[in-house]
Amino acid sequence: MEYKTILFEKTDGVGVVTINRPEVLNALNDLVFAELADVFAAMERDRGIHCVVVTGKGRAFIAGADVGAEINKTVREEHEFLRAGHELFNRIEAFRVPVIAAVNGWALGGGLELAMACDLRIAADTAKMGVPEINLASIPALGGTHRLPMLVGLARAKEMMLTGRHVRAEEACAYGLVQQVVPAADLMPTVMELAKGIARRAPLTVEYGKIAVTAGYWSDPKTAAEVEMGLRCQLQDTWDRKEAYTAFLEKRDCAPFCGC
């Protein structure tokens, strides 16, 4: 399918989604949400995709929502826009395989909120992040008031939201907002090496591992333990697990995984 606001390619089991509106710093609007929803739905059906990378074209990851499109929206239209964004970001967060945000530049407002919905975030050393909605007499409303405190702590999240200041990549890494900072020229090679490494792992194990960690984070210990044990037992009779154990015992390389 041809998209107007995003680019998509698939390589070595990795789906790469690029927001492609560099003339407005990849600002989010209704069409971007719709096309992202479509490409993630397509990747959900494609069992040949084992990891996803999201990035931006040009000098920004996503510099927030499209203010020009936002200013004249009615309350109802704004609610529909935010609802679509929440549904999309929740889908990304719960996606069956890991999603990595390659933060190549400005990640502000909704852009940072999208990045926070991803499993991992790697940033270029030139990237800047923030939730500057207060400067527009607004607040984060695409999951930022929920996900940001979880990642950086309550007080720091409040400070970022109430001042609207931009956080440099190294500071964001110290906060726990991103996992790694690399030179801008090395960003995509670093992210793709990580993504392809994940894609080479046993597919069902990666999916179940993501489910188990998420359940463990959100659930009480008893429920988390039941989910963990249940998923582990479902892997017990798979060819992938048997091959991995046999290769370990025989001290040989493991055959390629098949996801069964």
Find, among 16, 62, 73, 23, the residue nearest to 39 by Cα.
16
Question: Which tokens sit at 174?
Answer: 């110290």
113 is catalytic: yes
What are φ and ψ of residue 128, in 5° steps? Answer: -135, 140
Catalytic residue (one of 80, 133, 171, 193):
133
Residue 71 buriedness (CB in 10 A; 0-12 / 13-18 / 19+): exposed
Q: Is 236 exposed, middle or buried (0-12, 13-18, 19+ CB in 10 A)?
A: exposed
Kindly state the helix (H) or strand (E) to which residue 182 belongs, with its residue range.
strand 180-182
Active-site position among 113, 193, 207, 250 = 113
> Which residues are designated catalytic?
113, 133
